[in-house]
Structure 1
């Protein structure tokens, strides 16, 4: 499993592998929003939690179609399906590799960009914590969606349509945790629910991903 993770990380950092694409998109969205909204600091402060989470969600979408597509095209996915490594483990490792190359970089970068959206100082720690808790769920849900559309021509649009509704609870509770933290309220309820969503996705979706892959590889 470690060898598969390292392989996926090496593929991601190669030219065209998708590494940095999500982070670059995230940075562009955060930088452009103040230009569109204008110099209204109160408005920027109010919408900052939602903007950060929407940008994170969209950034995660950009590289989802690469999770299984390259392995399917060169036959590696078939070999993985017949290897001693269970497909549940393959799905889990694919999700982890996607998070390391997409979710983790934007999680680290987000607090440094808080000043662009005039994020309340009290919200910085909750922004970081919510992204750490929630972005792994985005990767695991996206991996399941990528397994559903593997082998389909132009499956990227279908993948987005399938995955976006599943992202909504994570988006709601992630933004709510940051908003409550910015207003000096207790965000623990939203953070617990966010962590529960992530734990639930990692408990259930690797098995669903493996089942879908077995069907698509027949």
Structure 2
């Protein structure tokens, strides 16, 4: 039983990753948007390194938050349109587990390249090692929350006309705690302060989201299918 579940989850992750590679805009557009936002922050600040060090955490976190929302509305859309969601519900593998696999694939295809790019850009722009480390750790802990929370809203709005706008209105307020703790961690690192508390809260948010979000997204998909 466990082997069949593991095989099913791996198949879902690999299928979604291959789909992202085939439809390159699914991960190229968010990554390009992320880079453009960071570049605009740099241009707005100008050559003043001290000012840039102060606003860099906010810039990176806002950029990755906005980039994450670009293709969230498509997380379940193709599966909803071609009937795959119905097959997932009928599968012996729990729907919440399959949804969790899809969320994992979304995070791997979108957030991971952005985290890597954030660290590279930070190094190019002269951020200190302590700040880069805090940035990388905070993004590794916080970015899964963005995908997990976004998945619930994506499932609630899948197939709706104007769903992308409604999705943004739902998730942006829910992203605020992650944004606040993520920026605070990097800011504290820049000031030479401890970041343990912020990372602890980000880890707690990630654990809570990983526990509840797949269940919520699975329930939302059932509701959407029942409504059609």
Alignment TM-score, normalising by the size of structure 2: 0.91
> How far has the Cα of 1:212 moved from its partner?
1.1
Q: Hey, what's the Cα distance between the residues in 1 that align with 2:28 and 2:110?
A: 7
Pair 1:183 & 2:194 matched: no
Q: Which residue of 2 aligns with 1:164?
A: 172
Pair 1:136 & 2:139 matched: no
Segments of 4+ in structure 1 off by > 4 A?
115-118
> How far has the Cα of 1:40 moved from its partner?
2.1
Q: Which residue of 2 aligns with 1:19?
A: 27
Write out per-residue CA displacement over residues 14-60 of structure 1, whole angstroms, 9 at most, x where no aligned residue: 13550222111111111121212222222111000111111110111
Residue 53 of structure 1 contacts residue 174 of structure 1 at CA under 8 Å; is this kept in 2?
yes
Q: Which residue of 1 aligns with 2:122?
A: 114
Count the aligned residue pairs.
218
Q: Which residue of 1 aligns with 2:5?
A: none
Write out per-residue CA displacement over residues 53-111 of structure 1, whole angstroms, 9 at most, x where no aligned residue: 11110111111011001111111112212222211012211110110001111111111
Q: What RMSD, in angstroms, separates the aligned Cα atoms of the two structures?
A: 1.3
Q: In structure 2, list runs of 5 or more residues that go unmatched.
A: 1-8
Mean Cα deviation higher: 91-100 or 107-116: 107-116
> How far has the Cα of 1:117 moved from its partner?
5.0
Q: Which residue of 1 aligns with 2:108?
A: 100
Q: Which residue of 2 aligns with 1:213?
A: 221
Q: Hey, what's the Cα distance between the residues in 1 that align with 2:29 and 2:40?
A: 17
Which of residues 53, 59, 63 in structure 1 aligns to 2:61? 53
Alignment TM-score, normalising by the size of structure 1: 0.95
Q: Hey, what's the Cα distance between the residues in 1 that align with 2:35 and 2:25?
A: 19
Q: In structure 1, list runs of 5 or more residues that go unmatched.
A: none
Mean Cα deviation higher: 208-217 or 115-124: 115-124
